[in-house]
């Protein structure tokens, strides 16, 4: 029986830590708020839509 439990335990899928999903949610919210702000219009005017989007995707919040 112990062998079956060890096998089952070895095959369980590992979940990513809760913090990474929290960081992803915070990043998504942050990027949405930037798009709604006057800063987004300035970024688009200065860099163009494509470059501003690329820069925005690089902005991330990491919660440790």
| Residue 12, domain member (yes or no) | no
> What's the whole-number mean pLDDT along residues 2-17?
61
**pLDDT value at residue 3:** 64
Give how many domains the chain has, as a whole number. Answer: 1
Inside any domain, residue 9: no
How confident is the model over 26-43, as pLDDT tens digits? 999 999 999 999 999 999
For position 61, what pLDDT does the model report?
85
pLDDT digits (tens, 9 = 90+) for 10-20: 566 655 455 56
- Residue 48: inside a domain: yes
Q: Report yes or no on 51 lying in a domain.
A: yes
The answer as to whether 3 is a domain residue is no
Helix (H), strand (E), coil (C) string for 18-37: HHHHHHHHHHHHHHHHHHHC
Beta-carbon count within 10 A of 20 CB: 12
Domain span at 23: 18-64
Which of the pair, 62 or 51, is modelled with greater confidence? 51
């Amino acid at each position: 029986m112990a062998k079956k439990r060890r096998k089952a335990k070895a095959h369980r899928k590992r979940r990513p830590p809760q913090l990474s999903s929290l960081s992803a949610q915070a990043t998504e919210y942050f990027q949405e708020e930037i798009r709604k702000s006057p800063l987004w219009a300035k970024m688009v005017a200065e860099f163009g839509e494509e470059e501003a989007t690329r820069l925005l995707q690089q902005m991330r919040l990491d919660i440790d």
